[in-house]
Amino acid sequence: MQIQTPDWVKHAVFYQIFPDRFARSEHPHKKLLKNASWEAWESMPTLQGYKGGDLWGVIDKLDYLQDLGITAVYFTPIFQSASNHRYHTHDYYQVDPMLGGNPAFKELLNAAHDRNIKVVLDGVFNHASRGFFFFHDILENGPHSPWLDWFHIEGWPLSPYNGEYPANYRGWDNNRALPVFNHENPEVREYIMEIAEYWIQFGIDGWRLDVPFEISAEGFWQEFRDRVKAINPEAYIVGEVWTDSRQWLDGTQFDGVMNYLFTAPTIAFTAGDRVDISQVESRSYTPYPPIFAKEYAEQIQELLALYPWEIQLTQLNLLASHDTARLLSIAGGDRDSVKLATLLLLTFPGAPSIYYGDEVGLPGALDPDSRRGFPLEAQWDQEVFLYHRDLIDLRHKRPALRTGDYRVLYAEGTVYAFARVLDSDVVIVVVNVGTAEMKVSFEVDSLKAQEKLYSDGEFRWDDSTLAIELPARSGLILG
């Protein structure tokens, strides 16, 4: 079977937005909550408080995203919900009124598409919420509800709020706020398929699927793909799977996954023994213990051998998300760790994804701290912003960085070098993660790159041998 994935994703740079925390508008369209008592924007976020970010605010920032070089936005959930993160869905057909409702989203979609920015939504299809109409009917009417078989009811009475009693229904991760759908019920399955189709027809460019590994109904994700792609063959389907994802990346289900198998070794290599274990242990990825270049090369080559190349080019690569601490905080505030990891992210096959605020040096420990309000420009780390912008620009300019082969050239001690090659376009990337200046040389068969594209380091060619001098904690890109 020939695997087909959306071509635009191979050239995209994604930006992940947590809508409550990115931008709060003073928009004249805003009819509701003009005088709401939001949490202070700059204060530390809480688990249940709202800061009042909305989609009008995102529209106001689209020019900023375009100037940064962003070509696709992935939103964490935007549908009506009684939680600031909106993973507790009330209504899959209504954008949350706090965000501006369906009219704001339609305006955002049009404004983004006018700038050639794609929009991918978060699909939370494993579970709903206590406020979801069908489940709420069961809470009101008990065994008389017509929707009983939509969920996993185990006994009576249901106890949706009082933890002293058994819930008597299945909640995701034993959380009674999140009743799990019965995906074996054909009506439930059809309901979810129609939601997926509705928003693709509305104009979105793809779905990011929350905990899709929890849905084991036979043929579910194959049908999901068939029905989404029938409407838009170029729609992107990306699953939130943190581990080996071969069973979903066979070409019949997802186009890619959130590539934590790239994230973990990249942080372990660039941040090394700076990693704050309290920010990463007991998580679903392991960016520790520290590794050197040889181990990094081995792990990256294993990753690149895991899936077909067509899938590698549409993986969603990331250094942080709303589910992790931010890399700056994981690395104990060490900016060089972030810089080196960002350089590796933006030169790797697949679509890089930047978590809002990382590009301006926003710190954040584990949730809820990693979901802070996007800072005012006066608080940006301008150096961090500039290297993000420069590396994104370089990726857009060099086709090899997007779809070229990936060849490891050198991996010893603290120095790692690789080439991206597409026909005559050759880019060579070298990083030194160590605390001492390094001088290395290695053979490079028939690959010449004479121009320094990014760096503090020096290089010279001696026939087919490349000699590099790299300061401590730095990187070099040649083209």
Q: Looking at the annotation, which residues are catalytic?
A: 210, 240
The alpha carbons of the chain give a radius of gyration, in whole angstroms, of 23
Determine the Cα–Cα distance for residues 286 and 176; give it in Å rounded to an integer. Answer: 29
CA 378 to chain centre: 26
Q: Which residues pair with 239 in a beta bridge?
A: 209, 257
Determine the Cα–Cα distance for residues 479 and 475; give it in Å rounded to an integer. Answer: 14
In the DSSP assignment, the letter for residue 237 is E
Determine the Cα–Cα distance for residues 45 and 364; give it in Å rounded to an integer. Answer: 10
Determine the Cα–Cα distance for residues 348 and 77; give it in Å rounded to an integer. Answer: 27
Token pair for residue 11?
Answer: 């050239």
Element (H, E) at 415: strand 415-422
Cβ neighbours for 164, distance < 8 A, ≥ 6 positions apart: none
> Hunting for tokens 């976020």 — which residue is that?
45
Determine the Cα–Cα distance for residues 163 and 135; give it in Å rounded to an integer. Answer: 18
315-332 CB burial, b ≥16 within 10 A, e <16: bbbbbbbbbbbbbbbbbe
